């Protein structure tokens, strides 16, 4: 629940349908819509698509708006929705769902971004998932003396300028070269979908592979998306991950997987398995569901409570449910639905005056389950602590729980993320207030102090080794910077030093983001 206040940068999708397929153009738009629905958890601020159709005057056309996917595509109004599907029909297209971690929340900053030009290879649209850690540095390098102008405070706009720069000249460039050169300029996480008015389409995974990106084929279509569940629900039974530094290139009817940049190391974001990714997805050949089950098993090994018949396990829906179930099974404690999620509450619900109102809108506490019980409340993570504090209070006061013991499947978060997760300052995190050394495991004394801060009767976190074991990838292939301060890129390290300096100067107040 605490990390339900965290937001991911975005989700991306791409579809190519052979023109030999019957109703190819109609299939593409519908497939994009379905994939974006399945990626909705990665971004609920806006949604959009760009499609290519050389039979219409607007060869490359983009549609985007603020709102959930069904709101944007007006599916509550079938006539309007079918008009949209017909207008944007094409034999290939890209799609995007967004949450803002850089830039504001206006419709103008919804993806895809389209840049029009009279030369077709310079007319392109793109969307991306991630965050450029060196955005501030790129802004400083921008050639203001040549009267270039940055309209938005957005790394997306900066990325658009660099892609456009790679398309200069009188001959159509190779997209391998374009994105190879871009990779030399950018530091951070950036999975990209790209489409131009020549019909060329590229799906690009950054050289360190921070974010997941998969592709597959079904029903005469080649599809790619941020997560495998989006492809599976479009009929792709077997999907493959693009490797870091690889791209899927579509030119005409030809589809190829090519390397565009070297990959010095892998840095897969461990938080994808803990919280962000859909539980049904597989990321880099590792099941999200099984990883969360293992996190619960590892957490159970750390339990210190003298278990009695009065103890129950309650998972915070939905991302903590697999960990909570396996935690309860290992300890032989009943796992109860003490919190029921309201699944019809979306991004635009009335939040009320504070976090307690938000909790009441998202959850209903079942007093018949919680009253008088010693609740082992399993959550996926604690970031800022403010939501956890209100949740503990809610379970006790409204649910009637006798005790609430927080059990967290993710280790303490000590450091900001500069790669696309909305936790960018040291001051907003609760753990650094009680722990001085980011490289050490949290002590029992520090956990006790955080528990007191949150109003919980006790608190136990998983440790870092448990995360590595649960995901089943080598630690060197994971980005765990938010847990240990070891950033995998040069600018990530610089941003952390800057963030610590800014926080010290803020004297107890929350400092600004390093890239603002």
Residue 53: C-alpha distances to residues 90, 215, 390 (Å): 5, 22, 51
What's the pLDDT at 308? Answer: 96
List 98's β-bridge partners, or say none.
10, 46
Which one, of 367, 300, 374, 305, lies nearest residue 330 by Cα? Answer: 300
Give the model's pLDDT for residue 421: 87
Q: What is the mean pLDDT of residues 115-144?
A: 92
Of 146-150, 247-251, 482-486, where does mean pLDDT reach its minimum? 146-150
For range 343-349, the mean pLDDT: 57
Tens of pLDDT, residue by residue over 148-195, are 778 887 899 999 999 999 999 889 999 999 999 999 999 999 999 999
pLDDT at 118 over 60: yes
The mean pLDDT of 256-273, rounded to a whole number, is: 97
User: What is the pLDDT, as a whole number, of residue 23?
Assistant: 76
Q: What is the pLDDT of residue 312?
A: 98
Q: Assign 3-class secondary structure to 217-284.
A: EECCEEEEECCHHHHHCCCCCCCEECCCCEEEEEECCEEEEEECCCCCCCCEECHHHHHHCCCCCEEC
Residue 440 pLDDT > 90 = no
Task: Answer whether residue 460 shows pLDDT above 60.
Answer: yes
Separation between Cα atoms, residue 506 and residue 516, nearest integer Å: 15
> Using an 8 Å Cβ cutoff, are 3 and 275 in contact?
yes
The pLDDT, as a whole number, for residue 205 is: 98
Strand order in the sheet with 458-461: 335-336, 311-315, 374-379, 403-408, 458-461
The full set of domain ranges for the chain reads 2-264, 287-506
- Phi, psi for 452 (deg, rounded to 5): -65, -40
Look at residue 347 in the predicted model and tell me its pLDDT: 47
3-state secondary structure of 71: helix
pLDDT at 105: 67
**CA–CA distance from 222 to each of 30, 87, 157, 234, 404 (Å)?**
14, 22, 28, 11, 49
pLDDT digits (tens, 9 = 90+) for 397-409: 999 999 999 999 9
Structure tokens at 147: 């009267």
Q: What is the pLDDT of residue 11?
A: 95
Overall pTM > 0.85: yes
Q: What is the mean pLDDT of residues 344-351?
A: 50
Q: What is the mean pLDDT of residues 411-432?
A: 90
* CATH no. for 287-506: 3.40.50.2020
* Structural fold of domain 2-264: 3.60.20
pLDDT digits 0-9 by tens, 58-114: 999 999 999 999 999 999 999 999 999 999 999 999 999 997 555 456 788 899 999
Burial class (CB within 10 angstroms; exposed 0-12, middle 13-18, buried 19+) of 335: buried
Q: Which residues contact 162 (CB under 8 A, 6 or more apart)?
A: 138, 182, 185, 186
Residues catalogued as catalytic: 10
Average model confidence (pLDDT) across the chain: 91
Give dist(CA 117, CA 114) in Å, integer.
10
Task: For residue range 53-66, list pLDDT tens digits in order.
Answer: 999 999 999 999 99
Cβ atoms of 372 and 266 within 8 Å: the answer is no
**Neighbour-count burial for 145-182, b at 16+ CB within 10 Å, e otherwise:** eeeeeeebebbbbbbbebbeebbeeeeeeebbebbbbb
At 508, is the pLDDT very low, low, confident or very high (cuts 50, 70, 90)?
Answer: low
**In the chain, pLDDT over 90 holds for what percent of residues?**
78
Band the pLDDT of 240: cuts 50, 70, 90. very high
């Amino acid at each position: 629940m605490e990390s339900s206040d965290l937001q991911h940068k975005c989700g991306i999708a791409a579809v190519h349908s052979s023109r030999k397929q019957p109703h190819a153009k109609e299939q593409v738009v519908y497939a994009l819509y379905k994939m974006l629905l399945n990626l909705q958890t990665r971004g609920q601020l806006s949604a959009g698509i760009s499609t290519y159709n050389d039979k219409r005057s607007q060869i490359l056309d983009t549609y985007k708006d603020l709102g959930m996917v069904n709101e944007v595509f007006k599916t509550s109004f079938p006539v309007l929705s079918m008009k949209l599907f017909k207008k944007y029909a094409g034999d290939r297209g890209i799609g995007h769902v967004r949450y803002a971690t850089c830039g504001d929340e206006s419709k103008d900053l919804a993806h895809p971004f389209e840049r029009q030009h009279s030369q077709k290879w310079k007319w392109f649209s793109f969307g991306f998932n991630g965050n450029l850690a060196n955005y501030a540095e790129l802004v400083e390098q921008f050639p203001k003396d040549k009267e270039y102008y940055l309209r938005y405070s957005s790394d997306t706009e900066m990325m658009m300028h660099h892609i456009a720069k790679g398309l200069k000249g009188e001959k159509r460039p190779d997209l391998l070269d374009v994105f190879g050169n871009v990779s030399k300029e950018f530091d951070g996480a950036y999975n990209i979908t790209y489409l131009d008015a020549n019909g060329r389409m590229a799906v690009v995974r950054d050289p360190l592979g921070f974010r997941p990106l998969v592709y597959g084929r079904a029903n005469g279509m080649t599809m790619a998306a941020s997560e495998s569940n989006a492809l599976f629900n479009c009929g792709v039974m077997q999907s493959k991950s693009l490797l870091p530094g690889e791209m899927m290139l579509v030119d005409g009817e030809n589809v190829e997987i090519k390397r565009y940049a070297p990959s010095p190391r892998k840095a897969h974001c461990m938080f994808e398995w803990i919280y962000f990714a859909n539980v049904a997805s597989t990321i880099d050949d590792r099941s999200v569901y099984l990883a969360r089950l293992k996190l619960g098993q590892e957490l159970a090994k750390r339990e210190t409570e003298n278990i009695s018949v009065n103890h129950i396990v309650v998972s915070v829906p939905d991302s903590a449910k697999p960990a909570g179930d396996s935690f309860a099974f290992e300890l032989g404690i009943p796992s109860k639905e003490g919190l029921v999620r309201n699944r019809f509450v979306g991004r635009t619900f009335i939040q009320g005056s504070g976090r307690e109102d938000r909790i009441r809108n998202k959850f209903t506490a079942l007093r018949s389950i919680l009253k008088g019980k010693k609740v082992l409340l399993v959550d996926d993570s604690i970031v800022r602590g403010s939501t956890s504090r209100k949740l503990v209070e809610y379970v006790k006061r409204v649910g009637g729980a006798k005790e609430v013991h927080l059990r967290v499947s993710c280790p303490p978060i000590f450091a900001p993320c500069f790669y696309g997760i909305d936790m960018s300052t040291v001051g907003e995190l609760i753990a650094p207030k009680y722990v001085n050394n980011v490289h050490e495991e949290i002590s029992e004394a520090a956990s006790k102090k955080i528990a007191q801060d949150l109003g919980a009767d006790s608190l136990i976190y998983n440790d870092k080794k448990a995360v590595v074991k649960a995901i089943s990838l080598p630690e060197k292939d994971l980005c765990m910077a938010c847990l240990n301060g070891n950033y995998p890129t040069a600018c990530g390290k610089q941003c952390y030093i800057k963030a610590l300096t800014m926080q010290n100067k803020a004297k107890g107040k929350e400092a600004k983001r390093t890239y603002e």
